[in-house]
Amino acid sequence: MPDTAAVTLSGGAVVTSTRREEVSSRIRRALLTGELRPGQRIKEVHLAEALGVSRPTLRESLQQLIHEGSLVQVPYKGVHVAQPTAEELRDVSEVRMPLETMAALRLARDPHGPAMRGVREALDVHLAAIDSGDDLQAHVTHLALHQAIWDFAESPTLRKIWPLVGTQVQIALTLDQAVRHDPERDAVLHRRLVQVIEEGDEATIVAEVEEHIRRSVDEVLRRLT
């Protein structure tokens, strides 16, 4: 594949009323499938032609994805697919582990309460997306499940921190999906994570959250090196 992005992004011209979101979804799917690679430059004219949209509409979508962290604006070099270093990926996991553990332990205090039911519903939505075979929806619901763990922990601090951490988590999950496509294993791991939280054993929760996060990062790094 050339260094500049000249992808087809199957589906033809965008004709829906929500053009920006449709374009963003097509680009997200290309990121998940590896059609757009980490570090690759986004060539606006190619993408606009492939999607059948104006360049201003495309730029709106690119700005949305830059805000999400999937793309980065490089001074004097244009827009590129985010390419976090190994050190950055490990750093995000080290920051994330104690915070997500804190959220899980808070949820475990009331395993049958409304907060835990909310997490269980997020898991069910994620599992349904996996079963559907829609990789993009599975990715979206994967991130939403982890956000639900933070949100339903009912910690104002965690809710404030999530937008910053969540952007980095999204990048890590996108890389994970692109280099290791194993939906069946994904379903097993997330069922177990939620089950461990529901069972409420503190030591097991701490170990499971750490293993869940560290395993994902280690596998991405192994495949990228």
**Sign of the CA dihedral 182, 124, 21, 96?**
negative
Domain that holds residue 105: 86-224
Q: Is 2 a residue whose pLDDT tops 60? A: no
Quick one: pLDDT at residue 172? 79
- Are residues 121 and 191 located together in one domain of the fold? yes
Supply the pLDDT for residue 4.
Answer: 44
Residues 53 and 144 in one domain: no
Phi and psi at residue 127, to the nearest 5°: -65, -40
pTM for the complete prediction? 0.76
- In tens, the pLDDT along 36-69 reads 888 889 988 888 888 888 899 899 999 988 987 8
**CATH number for the domain that contains residue 150:** 1.20.120.530
Are 168 and 61 within one domain?
no
Residue 5 has pLDDT above 50, yes or no: no
193 in the same domain as 165: yes
Is the per-residue pLDDT at 151 higher than 80? yes
Q: What is the pLDDT of residue 224?
A: 67
Contacts of 138 by beta carbon, 8 Å cutoff, 6+ apart: 126, 129, 130, 132, 177, 183, 186
At residue 1, the pLDDT reads 37
Interior angle at CA 204, CA 117 and CA 157, nearest 5 = 55
Q: What is the pLDDT of residue 225?
A: 64
Q: What is the token pair recorded at 2?
A: 């050339």
Using DSSP, state whether 74 is helix, strand or coil.
strand
Question: What does the pLDDT look like over 169-212, one tens digit per residue?
Answer: 877 777 777 667 788 999 999 999 999 999 999 999 999 999 99
Query: What total of structural domains would you count in the chain?
Result: 2
